[in-house]
Amino acid sequence: MAAVTLLLHQCCHPAMDNSPSQPNLQQSIEEPINTAPPEVQMILRAIIRAEKDNLHLKKTRVKGDILKIIKTAIQ
């Protein structure tokens, strides 16, 4: 979940701190996504998009979106 949070933060705030540890942190967070099978990558990226699309809402409905994404991927 921390990886999703960081990726969402990067999407919304691209001008992040460029400290020396930042590339290593980003790489270590993205590694599980980038090394996952293509089907899993598709699910993760769709979930990240769904969360990003609902960031402006006070009460998000991401749980239902995640279920739809996973059900679609399984079928």
> Tens of pLDDT along 48-71?
898 888 888 887 777 888 899 999
Question: Would you state the structure tokens that stand for residue 45, as one six-digit string?
Answer: 């990226």
By the 8 A CB rule, do 67 and 43 touch?
A: no
User: What percent of the chain is helix, strand and coil (3-state, nearest 5)?
Assistant: 70, 0, 30
Q: Whole-model pTM above 0.85?
A: no
**Rounded CA separation 36/64 (Å):** 23
Q: How confident is the model at residue 29 (pLDDT cuts 50, 70, 90)?
A: confident
By the 8 A CB rule, do 48 and 62 touch?
A: no
